[in-house]
Amino acid sequence: MKTIQAHREPDVKEIHIVWMTTGLGCDGDSVSITAAMQPSIEDVVLGAIPGLPKVHLHNPVLAYEVGDDFMKWWYMAERGELDPFVLVVEGSIPNENLSGEGYWAAMGTNEETGQPITTNEWIDRLAPKALAIVGAGTCATYGGIHAMQGNPTGCMGLADYLGWDWKSKAGLPIVNVPGCPVQPDNFMETLLYLLYQVAGLAPMIPLDDKLRPKWLFGSTVHEGCDRGGHYEQGRFASEYGQPECLVKLGCWGPVVNCNVPKRGWMAGIGGCPNVGGICIGCTMPGFPDKFMPFMNPPPGSYVSSAGSMVYGGIIKALRNITQRKLNKEPHWRHNRKELTTGYKPKH
């Protein structure tokens, strides 16, 4: 007779989360996750989640420790004394090949040289030791706003830096949770999945070809939007504050992979177009360049429900083409020793 195991002990008793915020960014993802409820960060670190090993969080924005007391966790992780740990990277990764005698971003000081330890160097030191690496927010995942055309730092996302085929020592690919900032529950749910996986309690995380969790980024904004009924009826807002579909004001929802209208922002409330803001595609690899200027109506946006019904198949095919284009990063985001963003110094 088959027996059902009611409770399985995790393979490991303690897990560390080493969270770098020293990419180019605003720390907005760290702030965002403090609003998570499914699960909350407090539930994860205080042991309220059944079956989860003890979790220690080392995040400079949320830590009580400062200075050497805080930095010691980084050096322990580097020496292999913090095993296992999940590395979270927040912020765009600058290209230090291009920083000349200075540096773009750093944390801590190298005792031997007296020089700052760059963000690139920290990733090089810690990535081989981590059981899993997660990019938090669009800057870390694909480059984001800092990686726009014409930027001087040549910055990029994690997979551009480490390689799209990169695997951790546990065989896990990079996990990308984009969003500007990241939707709090999307991030915490993904982190929880990975913590269970590291503990040997969950199967391989399902990711799409942009390394996003499939169950979170498999649908478009439009498919979950509260205003979808208006779209279907051909009722469009002509100015902000009106309740109808926002497509004529520039909403990119039909071709953007994001669950925010379905999930809301905090406690199920909010979600850009639901509450009156156009979708600007902030979760997409092509953000922001391919969505500029934000207020321009996206291609094919004037097709109403009547048109959709008659030409549904054609519209879907056209949308798929647009979506594929937006799901591709611009060519200038790379880890090579050349700046191809089009930046022109003023002198």
Residues at the site binding ligand SF4, with contacts judged by CB under 6 A: 179, 221-222, 225, 227-228, 231, 245-247, 251, 253-254, 256, 258, 260-261, 272-273, 279-283
Return the ∠ at Cα 247 (arms to 246 and 249), rounded to 5°. 70
Helix H or strand E encompassing 68 = helix 67-79
Nearer to ligand SF4 (CB atom), residue 16 or residue 146 = 146
* Shortest Å distance, C-beta 275 to ligand SF4: 10
* Shortest Å distance, C-beta 243 to ligand SF4: 10
* Shortest Å distance, C-beta 280 to ligand SF4: 5
Helix H or strand E encompassing 217 = helix 214-217
The sign one gets for the Cα dihedral 145, 147, 152, 155 is positive
Nearer to ligand SF4 (CB atom), residue 144 or residue 154 = 144
Q: Quick one: which of 211, 40, 46 has its CA closest to 136? A: 211
282 labelled as ligand-binding? yes
Nearer to ligand SF4 (CB atom), residue 178 or residue 330 = 178
* Shortest Å distance, C-beta 261 to ligand SF4: 6
Q: Quick one: which of 277, 275, 276, 282 has its CA closest to 258? A: 282
Query: What CA–CA distance (Å, rounded) separates 206 from 193?
Result: 10
Give residue number: closest CB to ligand SF4.
253
Count other Cβ atoms within 10 Å, centred on residue 239.
7
251 labelled as ligand-binding? yes
Nearer to ligand SF4 (CB atom), residue 119 or residue 183 = 183
* Shortest Å distance, C-beta 341 to ligand SF4: 23
Burial 140-178 (b: 16+ CB within 10 A, else e): bbbbbbbbbeebebbbbbbbbbbeeeeebeeebbbbbbb
**Strands (E) located in 154-265:** 175-177
* Shortest Å distance, C-beta 247 to ligand SF4: 4
**Token digits of residue 192:** 């929880």
- Residues facing residue 235 across a β-bridge: none
SS3 content of the chain, % helix, strand, coil (to 5): 35, 15, 55
Nearer to ligand SF4 (CB atom), residue 78 or residue 244 = 244
Nearer to ligand SF4 (CB atom), residue 290 or residue 334 = 290
Distances (CA, A) of 218 to 85, 205, 258: 28, 14, 8
139 labelled as ligand-binding? yes
279 labelled as ligand-binding? yes
Q: What's the number of CA atoms in the CB half-sphere (13 Å) around residue 54?
A: 4
Query: What CA–CA distance (Å, rounded) separates 320 from 318?
Result: 5
* Shortest Å distance, C-beta 332 to ligand SF4: 22
Nearer to ligand SF4 (CB atom), residue 72 or residue 248 = 248
222 labelled as ligand-binding? yes
Q: Which residues are annotated as a binding site?
A: 26, 139, 180, 222, 225, 245, 251, 279, 282
Annotation: binding site for [3Fe-4S] cluster = 279, 282
Please state the residue numbers annotated as binding site for [4Fe-4S] cluster. 26, 139, 180, 222, 225, 245, 251
